[in-house]
Each structure stands twice: as C-alpha cells, then as structure tokens.
Structure 1
Amino acid sequence: MSVRSGGRVERECSEQRMEASANPVADQDRKGRLSQVKREILEIKLRGRARDAASGRISARPASQNPLSFGQERIWFQSQVSSNEALYHIPLLAWFDGSLNVRALEASLSEVVRRHEVLRSGFENENGVPVQIILPQVEFAVTHIDLRDFAPEEQECEVRRRADLEALQPFELASPPLFRATLLKLGSTRHALLLTVHHIVWDGWSSGLLIKEVGRLYAAAVAGEHSPLAPPTIQYADFAYWHRSFMDSEDGRRQIAYWKKRLEALPELSTLPTDRPRAAKQKHRGSTHSWRLPDDASDAFRVLARERNTTLFAALLATFKTLLFHYTGQGDLAVGTTVAFRTRSELESLLGFFANALVLRTRLEDDPSFETLLGRVHEAAIGAQSNQDTPFEKLVEELAPKRGLSHNPLFQIAFVLHNLPTEKLALPGLTVGVEETSTNSAAFDLVLHVFEDQPGLRARLEYDADLFDRSTIVRMASHFDALAQNVVRRPSGRLSALSLLTSQQEQELIAQSRTKLAQAASAPTLLHHWVDIAAETKARTAAVIAEGKN
C-alpha cells in the first residue's frame, strides 16, 4: 500500500528540512559545503531550532483548555457558509488482495482513533462560535458491505460508484469521530476499503502517518501481540494551545510585522480572465485536468534551478507566474502555496490539521527577464518559509482585506509541488494499493499541482468549474508546457517575449500562414476577373435582372 503522504498539503523543499541535524558543529561544516539556497534553508531551520530550544518543547495544555487551532477555526466557519458539504472531505480508496484479517484491520483503525485525541474531537456551535469537545473514548465501527453478487467485471465500477457517494456524505461536526470506514467484500481474497476523513482533523501528512501506524498495528494484531507504538507525548490540542501562545510572543509579533509589510496594498482579486462572471457566493464546484509534462522538462528544470542557485519549486512557480502574467497582464501577482507546518520534531508523529497557507507575492511591472523573476520568486519563498509560523487566518485578521463569499482572501490561485516521498505499507499476506478519490470540489479559483514522479513530472490543474470551461483549462495546460520549454531555452528573455507556443507549434503556424498568403496572392483581385469566373462556373444562372427580364 502506498500513498503520497502530502495528498493535499505539501511542503516546499522537504528534503532540505532533513539536513538540519542535532550537531551544531556538523551543521556549520555542512553549511560550508551547501549551495547558497540550501545554506539559506538550513539557516532557517537552525534559527527555528534555536527558538525551540529557548521556548522549550510543546507541553500538555492546562486541563481546562481545549482550543481549536487557527486552521480549524477557519475550516469550521467556512463549513457553516459553504453550500458544498464535501469541500473539506479527504477520501481514500484502498484495494486488498490476499487473505485479509478483518478483525485485525478493525482493531488497528480503532487503536488509531484511541491514540489520537483529534479523532475523538467534535466541534459544537455555541452562539456562532465553535467550541471543541474531546471525548475520552468513541465507538469506531467499520461498515461492511458484501458485493460478491456482482460479476467480477462489474465490481470495480460498483466500488468506484460507492466511493464517489461515500465521499459526498456529510459529517456532523459536533459528533466524532470525523473519520469513517467502509469495507467492501468482493471475494474471499479481495476487498476494498473506503476511508473518508474531515479536513478539520486531518492533512496530507496525516495520511502518511495513518499508513505507518496501521501497518505496525495490523502486523502486531495478526501476531497476537500488543500495540508496538509508544503513546503520543502530546496531543493536537496541546499544539493549538502552544501556537496561540506563540503568536502572542515577540517572535509571533515579529512574523506578523513581516507579513504586513510584505503584503501591504496587495490587490484584492486576481484578474485572470474567466469564462463566466464570478457569482456573489462561491459554490466550490470543481473539476480537474491532468497531464504529464514533456519527458525532458524535469531534468531541464533541475538544471536551470541548479545553475540559478535555487530550487525546483521556485523554477516551476516562476514558470506558472509567467503564464499568469501572459493571461492577466497583472504586474503584482500573489499565488498561494501550502506547507505542512510541522516545524518541531514533536509534531511529526501527530495526526491533525497542521497545514498553513503562505502568500508568495511577486512584482512584475517592469516586465523582467525570466531569470530575474526566478530570483524574486526564490527570495519570496525563502522569506515565506522563515515566517511560516504565522497562520493564514491571523494574516486575514490583521490585514483585514475586504471579505466576501465570492472568493478566497489574499489569493485565489495556488501552486503546490508534491515532493514528499511515497509511503509504502506491506501487510502480512496482502498486496495493497491505495488511491485518492475526488469530491469534485475546488477551494480556490485555480490550483496547479506538480508531482515528482520517477521519472519526470506529472501535473494537474484543479479549477472552479463555475468560472472556467474545461477547454480553457486544457489550453492553459498546453501553454504551460510550451513555457516550460521556452523559459529553459531563453531564461534571459523578457516575460512578454516568451512564447506560449512550442517551437514546433510556431513553425506549423508559420507554414499555415505562408500557405494562406500564397492562396490569397493567386486569387483574383479585380471585379471583372470575378465576373469572368462566375460566368464560366454558373453559365445557366442569370447574371443581371432588370424589370423582370434576365
């Protein structure tokens, strides 16, 4: 069983995160051997570690305190006003081939719920304000459905139909667990598991943790052993309490000051042309278009990034911003991205919604070269990463942009590079495969996802189907592919001069134009020539009619 552990929430340059060791001497030696960009990222991590050491580890909160995190508050409020009840659902579909121990699987999932308070948490509405209720225990039951009466060739379609329906079933946020499972029996040695969890208690990193925990718990249960997992040292609500205290500290205020300066006078709305007017209230009805980038794009982007002393993330984002510049002509572009926000070691083994949104703003009024833009994007990414403790919700509150239900505040377009390693799970006696299913929802106007596959790069545009036609998005993907080739070939070219066509497409267009020009040149241009041609081709047709006579 394998799944991208950052299915919805990713972190830029995750591999660099691991370079900060616990040995300061080794860190200093490593800094001398790293490229400039890696040195900058390492220094960010070292500063964060120094701050952690000064403030101490996150500890248990006071018994009377069960605060929501900033991110949970945002999701709760948006869930109250959104007409799309599945907007924050995260559905997974797993296939089991082999001898499945159903009791061991059920026990493993129940133990995960027992271990993590966040899966025993509900969110009640008290006079329009969310209040978190954490239950000491909840009953978690797997729903069982027998599909053996379906013919083998019909079973997969039926599983996917049920998966789609299951993903859309609403949760009652006040009634935990906000995590459910349905096991479909297809045969004696074949099963499918539908998992759906609410984003208010989950993120992409949590999916990877679930795989790790279920793998170890299942193996222990099959062997008749007790849980091999150590109890969590803290719980999600401890993090929420700590984070709120941190934002009231000097470091928290410093980060807010950085963002207020960085985002001063930010345009309220993207000017990306849409196929339909924006509604007064966003319905979040989404769709996607997926494709693979040209085979050589991955290597070319990596070489470009290395030569410009930056990252693959920055190179791809700069290309996306170039595309947006061509589409909008907007000289001040804000694109959002997401980070896992597990910047402290004690958070890496906790389930929960830790994700944070960062706003990456770039000025393009001077029509810079691509390599100049790349440097600006790099600078914005480094600055954002070093100030990522500030929750997006706090930024919205502090900057107080004009709020409405028609669009997301601060940014409406996002970019995510999925570069976390694939988590794999081997269950005794089973071959397991897992995939994400879709709720056909869109939180933003447009999101470009790029996945690092081996080999190459895979891309997906997720879009608001109430704003864009599919044909528009397909064309946009084609233009991104063309830019991917052209920025690598001409990084010193100004953005406005970089073509949205590949060199082959340009040659085909030139050839077509020449053909049409040649045809036009050979066509008659004088009136009597057209009369002669008409007389020859339409000899029996009247040429002139006057007073009823031909």
Structure 2
Amino acid sequence: MSKQPEQSLSQRFQDLTPHQRQILVEAMRAKAKTAIAPIPRYDHSAFIPQSYTQRRLWFLFRITPDSAMYNMPECARLTGPIELEHFNGAFNDVLERHSSLRTVFTDTEHGPAQTILPVTNQAVEVVQAPFAEGDPNREERVTQMLTDLSNRSFDLENGPLVRMTLIRVGEHLHYLVVNMHHIISDGWSTGVFVADFSECYRARVENRPHRLKPLAIEFADFVRWQQEHMTSARLDTLRRFWRDRLAGVEPLRLPFDRTPTSAVTDRGGYRYVHFDAQTTARLKVLAEQWGATVFMALLAAFKGLLHLYSMQEDITVGVPVAGRTHPSTEDLIGFFANTAVIRTNLGGSPTFKELTERVRNSSLDAFEQEDTPVEMLVEMLQPERPPGRNPLFQVMFILQNTRKPALSLPQIDIKLLAAGSTSVKFDMLFEFAESGEGLTGWLGYRMDLFDEGTMTRFADAFTKLVLAVCEFPDKPLNQIDIPTNPPLEAQDFNDDLEIIPQIRRPRFG
C-alpha cells in the first residue's frame, strides 16, 4: 500500500472545525507564553525610560498640555448605600498595588523618563450635585457634569494621572467617574482596575484582607525588558518585514466636507449602527466557511466601503491589539496596547468571500509582528505625514472581543453609562461589540472634517453593504448598489480649514 503524502500544517488546520481551530490557536498561544523567559525585576531608583508608545503621548502633551484627547473615562450610576471610607481605602489599595497609577513624566539628559511616586493617600473626589434627586432635568444635568469631569485635562509632569469622582445626588444615589490618562492605562487596564477595586472594596466592607495575588512585576519592568529585547538584529528584522508590507502606503481619500489641516481638533461626533442577531449569525456562518472570524468579515466590509468611496485599491486600516504577549503582564495596569497596521489590496473586483480571505491573510500577517510599537514603525519607515492626519493609517476599526469585568460592590446597584468624553483620535473610527441581540457599533468621526449628514449616510451605507454581502457573498463588490460620490482629491488640500463648496454630487443620490 502506498503511503499518502503528509498534509501540511496549513492544510490540516483548514480541515478542522471552527471550534477545533479556536482550541488549537489558544493552546498554541498558551504554550508560547509559558515558553517565554520571565521578565526580571529591575532597579527603578534611578532612570526609568518611557515606553515607545508613551513617548508619543508625552510629545503630544508638550504641544497641547490642556488636551483631553487621551483621557479614558468610565462612568456609572450607583444606587445604594456607599461607605465613603471604604471607597477611599479601596482606591488607595489599587494605587499602592499598581505603581503605574503613581507615575509622572519628564524629560531628562538621558531622554524621556517616568518617575514612580511614593505611596500617599489620594482621596476620592466628592462633588455635590447642584440639583435635587427629583429634578425633572436630572439626567441632562448629570450628563453635562459627567462630560465636564471626563474632559478635565491631566498634568503629566506632576500628576495624579488617575481620578475617581463621585457626584452625590442623594443619600443613596451617586454617579461615578473613573478617569485615567492613556499614558498609564489602556482598555484592558480599565478592566483590571475595576476588578481590583471591586475586590478591595468588598474586602474592606467584610473586614478582611483582599484576595488579589501579588504582582510578579511592575509596568516599569516591562518597559525595561521590552527595550532590552529590541536589539539591533531584531530591529533589522522588523524593518525588513514592515518595509516590505507597508512600502508606498498612501493616505485614504475619505468623503471630507472640509480639508484636513494641522488645525483639525479631536472634537468628535457619533452615529450608531446595529445588526440584529439573524444578520450576525449569517456573518458568523460565512466567516467560518471561509476560515475567518467575524472581526475579519466586518473589517472586510468596512474596507470594501472605503474602496467604493475612495476608488483606491490599496486600503490600510489600524486595528488595536492588547500588546500583552508576556503572561506576567496580564494583571497589570499600564499602557501596553498597540496598533496593528492591516493593509489589503482590493484590486480585481473581489467578491465579499474573496475580500474576506484577503483580509484574513493580511490580518494574520500583521498580527505575527503585533509587538512592534506603531511609533517605531513610523520612525523606521518615515512615511508621508499629511497635515492633521496619522501617517500610516487614518481610520481605526475595533471589535471588542473581550468582556471587561463588571464593577461589583455589595448592596449597590450599578448601571454603566456612556463615557462623557467626545474625543475622536482618527479621521474615522468604527467600533463594534457583540451581545445576544447582535452586533452594536458606533461610527466616530472628527467634526472638523465631516458633517453629521455625511456620516449618517456613510453609516447607512455600511449597514446596506453588510446586509447585501450577507445575501450575495459571491457578487463582486463593485456590482452592489451602494451609491457614493468621489472623494475630495488630495490636491485640493490646503493649509486653511475651510468649507469645501457644495458643488459635488450629493452623496447617496
């Protein structure tokens, strides 16, 4: 009997069911993490460098120190008896546990540095609401207070860079704002903060020690370790990898109502998008058939719409990644998050199936080197820097696939609220999250660049496109009836922020 040729790993992977693929990938990631040597503890009594990602925010702070663009507020309504002494105690327990929350920043003769401040008592701010609990305009007035608190700027040189504020409306009714600057935190970190604060508060109410396991390292240890691993040989490898994949990246031609310039601010607007459970299930089935994920299918649809608007075949989008490739970092608060730059060619009139497969391949390719700080990419590649725009990508796409721990406090009913910050850090940002009701998302945009009507039509077009490709996945995208108008051409850009004369064809007819 002749021996059958051995299947390649990729062929065997394709033969697995979607569930088996997920189990295999998670097992490989876990094995890879356990194989990594532990991060050592370093001496932080002298110089502590800033991480690659922190340096960018430090640079921006020195230019616009009053900006709230990188605030990270979380808001909630608390109904029940709050024990303020325990609230203060639990807050300071978390500050003592995570040295990143006691960090400030400066320039030194050795370069940009961060300094860990000693443990001191920081009180939770308590603000008395200037209205009664029964005020008919309470919600509107609370929303304004949450927005004002969320948009207070931080002093990165002197701190503190985290605030916890309670708005007291009644004896058993408070509104909570937890606000951190991005230079010391990220999305994963907010979940760590919530989980740790919940445990510390409960422990104080129950008069017992908290049950949090000791942290193996501090964020500053990770920074030193990361920089030691960026050897010249490693940098040469990364430079070759990314130059090959990002050479010649051009800025996206988006449907601007006003020209991008250096005067553009982060003032943002939002449009909501929802796909019901049936559409979400259909998208999942298609993605699984093609060896992809729902994230990849949604990103493919988004890139398809950007292609239809811009008529560009080369579409590059930024996608956030956790940046926690070492197991010791999972319980830390700090700025680990990074951005994967995903570039996909849409030439040749692809179908949705073909485009999803291309996005799958370009995504996996980018994720291979997800530990490359995007700031380092900009330094290495030195791409064109259009005024007021990010150099490598101008739009961000997010699918929240991790469930944050819920704030849990004894005898208190908690309802999460939309955060008060209205900043948008990119020309355009799409963010989705999945629930039992389907996929819900919002399109964020810079109001200095786009009118509300333009973004309403863009969001509607995305909805129509997803519904269309779910029904006709083998139909070329350019044959799907999603009317768009030509984008503002790059040569029309100038140095002044001005309204472009409305002589172009109306969008969507």
Specify the code of the residue in structure 2 equivalent to 1:305: A
* Secondary structure in 2 matching 1:288: strand
CA shift for structure 1 position 346:
1.1
Specify the code of the residue in structure 1 equivalent to 2:315: L
Give the percent of matched residue pairs that are identical in Structure 1 and Structure 2: 33
CA contact (8 A) 1:358 1:392 kept: yes
1:264-279 matches, within 5 Å, as 264-267=247-250, 269-279=251-261
Measured in 2, the distance between the counterparts of 1:167 and 1:103 equals: 24
CA shift for structure 1 position 380:
0.9
2:37 corresponds in structure 1 to: 56
CA shift for structure 1 position 186:
1.7
CA shift for structure 1 position 423:
2.1
1:472 corresponds in structure 2 to: 454
2:474 corresponds in structure 1 to: 492
Specify the code of the residue in structure 1 equivalent to 2:153: P
CA shift for structure 1 position 93:
1.5
Specify the code of the residue in structure 2 equivalent to 1:287: G
CA shift for structure 1 position 433:
1.7
Measured in 2, the distance between the counterparts of 1:112 and 1:199 equals: 17
CA contact (8 A) 1:37 1:310 kept: no
1:195 to 139, 157, 178: 178
2:492 corresponds in structure 1 to: none
Task: Deviation per CA, 1:411-455: give whole Å up to 9, x if none.
Answer: 001110012124223321111122241322111001111111222
Measured in 2, the distance between the counterparts of 1:315 and 1:468 equals: 26
Task: Deviation per CA, 1:438-473: give whole Å up to 9, x if none.
Answer: 322111001111111222111200001111001011
CA shift for structure 1 position 32:
9.6
The TM-score with structure 2 as length reference comes to 0.87
User: Which segment is superposed worse, 276-285 or 472-481?
Assistant: 276-285
Task: Deviation per CA, 1:287-338: give whole Å up to 9, x if none.
Answer: 1111322452211110110111110011000001111111000011101110
Measured in 2, the distance between the counterparts of 1:282 and 1:397 equals: 23
* Secondary structure in 1 matching 2:114: strand
Measured in 2, the distance between the counterparts of 1:271 and 1:339 equals: 25
CA shift for structure 1 position 202:
0.9
User: Which segment is superposed worse, 128-137 or 370-379?
Assistant: 128-137
CA contact (8 A) 1:446 1:464 kept: yes
* Secondary structure in 2 matching 1:226: coil
User: Which segment is superposed worse, 347-356 or 491-500?
Assistant: 491-500
1:213 corresponds in structure 2 to: 196
CA contact (8 A) 2:33 2:326 kept: no
Consecutive unaligned residues in structure 2, runs of 5 or more: 1-11, 484-509
2:226 corresponds in structure 1 to: 243
1:17-416 matches, within 5 Å, as 34-35=16-17, 39=21, 42=24, 46=28, 49-50=31-32, 53=35, 55-63=36-44, 64-82=46-64, 85-126=67-108, 130-147=112-129, 150-153=132-135, 154-248=137-231, 250=233, 253-267=236-250, 269-403=251-385, 405-416=387-398
Measured in 2, the distance between the counterparts of 1:69 and 1:348 equals: 17
Task: Deviation per CA, 1:13-71: give whole Å up to 9, x if none.
Answer: xxxxxxxxxxxxxxxxx979844797499559737844762x51111124434121111
User: Which segment is superposed worse, 491-500 or 297-306?
Assistant: 491-500
Measured in 2, the distance between the counterparts of 1:456 and 1:43 equals: 25
Task: Deviation per CA, 1:375-418: give whole Å up to 9, x if none.
Answer: 11000111111211111011111101133551111000111001
CA RMSD of aligned residues (A): 2.6
Structure 1 residues 463 and 250: CA distance shift in structure 2, 3 A: same
Measured in 1, the distance between the counterparts of 2:175 and 2:32 equals: 46
Measured in 2, the distance between the counterparts of 1:449 and 1:195 equals: 21
Bigger proportion of residues as helix: 1
* Secondary structure in 1 matching 2:209: coil
Measured in 2, the distance between the counterparts of 1:220 and 1:47 equals: 34
1:447-458 matches, within 5 Å, as 447-458=429-440
CA contact (8 A) 1:270 1:412 kept: yes
Measured in 1, the distance between the counterparts of 2:200 and 2:183 equals: 25
CA shift for structure 1 position 146:
2.3
CA shift for structure 1 position 81:
2.7
* Secondary structure in 1 matching 2:473: coil
CA contact (8 A) 1:93 1:192 kept: yes
1:540 corresponds in structure 2 to: none
CA contact (8 A) 1:138 1:176 kept: no
Measured in 2, the distance between the counterparts of 1:475 and 1:84 equals: 33
CA contact (8 A) 1:120 1:138 kept: no
CA contact (8 A) 1:184 1:192 kept: yes
Measured in 2, the distance between the counterparts of 1:121 and 1:405 equals: 32
The TM-score with structure 1 as length reference comes to 0.80
Specify the code of the residue in structure 2 equivalent to 1:167: S
Structure 1 residues 234 and 392: CA distance shift in structure 2, 3 A: same
Structure 1 residues 131 and 45: CA distance shift in structure 2, 3 A: farther
* Secondary structure in 1 matching 2:258: coil
* Secondary structure in 2 matching 1:152: coil
CA shift for structure 1 position 494:
1.5
CA shift for structure 1 position 483:
0.7
Specify the code of the residue in structure 2 equivalent to 1:340: A
Task: Deviation per CA, 1:501-529: give whole Å up to 9, x if none.
Answer: 7xxxxxxxxxxxxxxxxxxxxxxxxxxxx
Structure 1 residues 364 and 82: CA distance shift in structure 2, 3 A: farther
Measured in 1, the distance between the counterparts of 2:267 and 2:110 equals: 26
CA shift for structure 1 position 209:
1.0
Structure 1 residues 31 and 379: CA distance shift in structure 2, 3 A: closer
Structure 1 residues 359 and 41: CA distance shift in structure 2, 3 A: farther
User: Which segment is superposed worse, 343-352 or 187-196?
Assistant: 187-196
